[in-house]
């Protein structure tokens, strides 16, 4: 296989890709953690604890493990590695969005990424109307999923750049 060397532009794109995603996830984790902290200051009864524990387990599995660790993170790392050797200036500037699959990906992936983004925005809008302590205890589950996602993405990026045998499909596709 013909391996290309990393370029300065590619290194900048890869670093920006990882930092951009971590900034986005970190901001969400911080904001949602504040609601969780506020919720923890209120009295909870048994139903709150049941929903809290159940939703934490559900989000750890569905968002953290299945969503990030088994799907998003390995592909994100592969697309970020691709950027290090093949990036255009557009991809460099928009590196986090390229690695997320918003463009230069198969149509199915782009549509899935856009649909997931719309769904997340709708959840954010709906969650604004949920009163405390419910909002905070549900946000705790989202925080668990996002923390899991951030950690798994970092680990997959380290693996992608340090393991010559890392060959996850980056799903790169250019429009005709």
- Binned at pLDDT 50, 70 and 90, residue 102 comes out as very high
In a domain, 156, yes or no: yes
What is the extent of the structural domain holding 118? 8-161
Assigned domain for 167 exists: no
In a domain, 166, yes or no: no
Asked if residue 174 belongs to a domain, the reply is no
In this prediction the pTM is 0.90
Q: How many helices (H) and strands (E) does the chain have?
A: 7, 0
Who wins on pLDDT, 5 or 81? 81
pLDDT tens-digit readout, 45-87: 999 999 999 999 999 999 999 999 999 999 999 999 999 998 8
Residue 149 to residues 64, 91, 106, 155, 175: CA-CA distances in angstroms? 5, 23, 23, 10, 29
For the stretch 19-23, contacts whose Cβ atoms lie closer than 8 Å and that sit 24 or more positions apart, written own/partner, are 20/95, 20/96, 21/76, 21/96, 21/99, 21/100, 21/150, 21/153, 22/150, 22/153, 22/154
């Amino acid at each position: 296989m013909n391996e290309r060397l990393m370029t300065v532009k590619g290194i900048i794109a890869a670093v920006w890709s990882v930092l951009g995603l971590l900034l986005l996830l970190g901001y969400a984790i911080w904001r949602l953690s504040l609601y969780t902290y506020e919720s923890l200051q209120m009295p909870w009864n048994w139903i709150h604890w049941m929903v809290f524990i159940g939703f934490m387990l559900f989000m750890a599995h569905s968002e953290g493990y299945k969503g990030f660790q088994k799907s998003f993170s390995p592909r994100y790392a592969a697309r970020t590695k691709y950027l290090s050797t093949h990036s255009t200036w557009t991809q460099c500037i928009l590196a986090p969005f390229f690695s997320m699959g918003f463009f230069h990906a198969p149509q199915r992936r782009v549509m899935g990424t856009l649909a997931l983004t719309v769904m997340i925005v709708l959840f954010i809008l709906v969650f604004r109307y949920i009163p405390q302590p419910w909002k905070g205890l549900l946000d705790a589950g989202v925080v668990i999923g996002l923390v899991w996602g951030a950690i798994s993405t970092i680990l997959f990026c380290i693996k992608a750049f340090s393991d010559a045998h890392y060959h996850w499909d980056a799903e790169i596709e250019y429009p005709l």
